[in-house]
Amino acid sequence: MDTITVSLGERSYPIHIGAGLLAGSRELVGATAAKQLLIVTNETVAPIYLARVEAAFAERKPRSLILPDGEQYKNLEGLGRIVDELIEGGFHRDACILALGGGVIGDLAGFAAACYQRGIDFVQLPTTLLAQVDSSVGGKTAVNHPLAKNMIGAFHQPVAVVTDTDTLATLPPRELAAGLAEVIKYGLIMDLGFLEWLERALPRLLALDADALAHAIRRCCEIKAGIVAEDEQEHGRRALLNLGHTFGHAIEALCAYGRYLHGEAVAIGMQMAAETSVELRLLDASDAARVGALLERAGLPTRVTGLAADAILCRMRLDKKAGSGGPRLVLLESLGSAVVAPAPDESVLRSAMARCMATK
């Protein structure tokens, strides 16, 4: 087992990474001392993992709430259901929410914890690769609005992250690929050596090789923990973690959060960012092709279907990271090195996006 610390002074917290941690491990049970516990999970995860988490905390008699599964349910209604459960259960300010699931559950439960009685503790128990390498770490919590993703939210750090790598054995291939999009992102933005390792190790990752997955999760968490410790609320360097997300979030919103998984939309967005970098002569075309080849080998889309470039551009203007001058983009100066820049002229974006639009 590995433990990585997110260093935020008095709000520092551990990320425990290992096999079998949901089966009553010391790391799980010791993640919170709260006597009042609410486990928030979804209809897909609950039949597989809820019973073992309930058993681990049996002495504290936790309550459980099972929500629908899917990005389209990460909304104010879902938030309201969690708050209703907390109020009806008589939860106090020293209570704790256990977020058992992927990124949707983590975001929903974390935002509820941020809001309830002006803030209570929560623990992340991520069960998808995407959540284990990215969304469970860093304290970003939010719900979606029909017009824009993650527009309503708060920074609220967990008190611990307990990552049981055994949960990946039950992950559908499409969800695994979606998580690999975020893994690849880390290599693209700041670790060429890790990116090169991914190119070699991808068959092992797709085959759920335990050692390869543990290495990938650990490296991603190391990178993110370092960035969050330096720039918790995304005033500077943390913005690099948004490679592909401005494009991807627009695509997700236009598709009503139903056609593409988050990681799939981010993969298309990363290819669009790479092509934009080529248009601006920051990146060689051969490197953009290398990005696309890796994403496609991982089983990810690099082209969007059924959407017009103008519609994507229009929705990008609503991105939560946009300033008064318009959206900002994370672009690639080279593989393993990224930069945050104002969005270029829309003619440049249209030209870059044209290479990422499917013909059918």
Q: What is the CATH number of the domain that holds 24?
A: 3.40.50.1970
Domain end (from 170, 198, 223): 170
Q: Which of 138, 170, 202 is the last residue of a domain?
A: 170
Residue 137 lies in a domain: yes
pLDDT at position 234? 87
In a domain, 152, yes or no: yes
Q: Which domain does 67 fall in, by range?
A: 2-170
Output the domain CATH number for residue 178: 1.20.1090.10
Q: For residues 244 and 267, is the Cβ–Cβ distance under 8 A?
A: yes
Catalytically annotated residues: 118, 140, 182, 224, 234, 238, 242, 245, 249, 262
Element (H, E) at 307: none
d(CA 103, CA 215): 20
Mark residue 120 as left, alpha or beta (left: phi above 0; alpha: psi -120 to 50; beta: remaining): beta
Residue 338: predicted pLDDT: 97
φ/ψ of 128, rounded to 5, equals: -120, 155
Domain count, the chain: 2
Do the domain assignments include residue 338?
yes
Angle at 107 between CA 13 and CA 254, to 5 degrees: 145
| Per-residue confidence (pLDDT) for residue 132, from 0 to 100 | 97
pLDDT of 147 reads 87
User: Based on the domain organization, do 157 and 194 belong to the same domain?
Assistant: no
Q: Which residues of the chain fall short of a pLDDT of 70?
A: 320-326, 360
Cα(146)–Cα(246) distance, rounded to whole angstroms? 16
pLDDT at 323: 60
Q: Is residue 11 part of a domain?
A: yes
Same domain, 121 and 187: no
125 with 245, same domain?
no
